[in-house]
């Protein structure tokens, strides 16, 4: 069985992010052929076109981590009905300089929020950006997780059996999607 390296990006910079917990849960529930590796975005400076000719070390590390991944998983919160600025900044760095876009990989978007509609609006914005960036998107089923206290432990254990089963099934679908798209 082929193992695929999944670079995951958590859109929140908070160490206590519920989306970081979701990422840990997905990592723990993933099938054996998916290896999850976090692509860090917390140290990136703000994107500036003037630096396209001399990328800062943090942006080079971001592009290297993405390029070393077979596929990408974006785990995003929703800030003011859109994606966090830190995530958009990372995407801007990864898609530049012109002609050197690193984002054209099999990708998926998930997210958790305390609200009933999860991160639906942010995910739609992010999918539009990723479509423009030539990412192949795993679109169905969607994961708009309403996060409640204790749903996911600090170590990534999902305490609700129904939620765990849903996430596990989603991961199986994502694994098949990645395998089909990496093989092309």
Torsion (CA) 164, 170, 176, 178 in degrees, nearest 10: -110
* Pairwise CA distance, residues 123 & 75, whole Å: 9
DSSP state of 125: H
Q: Which domains does the chain show, CATH number per domain? A: 4-181 (3.40.50.360)
Give 77-98 pLDDT, tens digit per residue.
999 999 999 999 999 999 998 8
Nearest to 72 by CA among 134, 117, 28: 134
Give 2-38 pLDDT, tens digit per residue.
999 999 999 999 989 999 999 999 999 999 999 999 9
Q: Report whether pLDDT(184) > 70.
A: no
Give 183's pLDDT tier (boundaries 50, 70, 90): low
Type and span of the H or E element at 93? helix 85-94
Q: Which residues of 4-39 are buried (b: 16+ CB within 10 A; e: fewer)?
A: bebbbbbbbeeeebbbbbbbbbbbbbbeeebebebb
Terminal CA-to-CA distance of the chain, rounded, Å? 17
* Pairwise CA distance, residues 113 & 131, whole Å: 23
């Amino acid at each position: 069985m082929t193992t695929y390296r999944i670079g995951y990006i958590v859109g929140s910079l908070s160490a206590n992010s519920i989306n970081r917990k979701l990422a840990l849960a997905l990592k723990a529930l993933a099938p054996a052929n998916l290896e999850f590796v976090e692509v860090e975005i917390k140290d990136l400076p703000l994107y500036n076109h003037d630096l396209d000719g001399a990328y800062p070390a943090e942006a080079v590390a971001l592009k290297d981590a993405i390029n070393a991944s077979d596929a990408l998983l974006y785990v995003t919160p929703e800030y003011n009905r859109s994606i966090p600025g830190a995530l958009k900044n990372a995407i801007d760095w990864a898609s530049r300089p012109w002609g050197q876009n690193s984002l054209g990989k099999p990708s998926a978007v998930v997210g958790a929020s305390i609200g009933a509609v999860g991160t639906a609006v942010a995910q739609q914005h992010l999918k539009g950006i990723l479509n423009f960036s030539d990412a192949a998107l795993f679109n169905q089923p969607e994961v708009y997780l309403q996060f409640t206290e204790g749903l996911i432990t600090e170590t990534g254990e999902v305490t609700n059996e129904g939620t765990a089963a849903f996430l596990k099934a989603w991961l199986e679908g994502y694994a098949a999607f990645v395998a089909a798209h990496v093989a092309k």
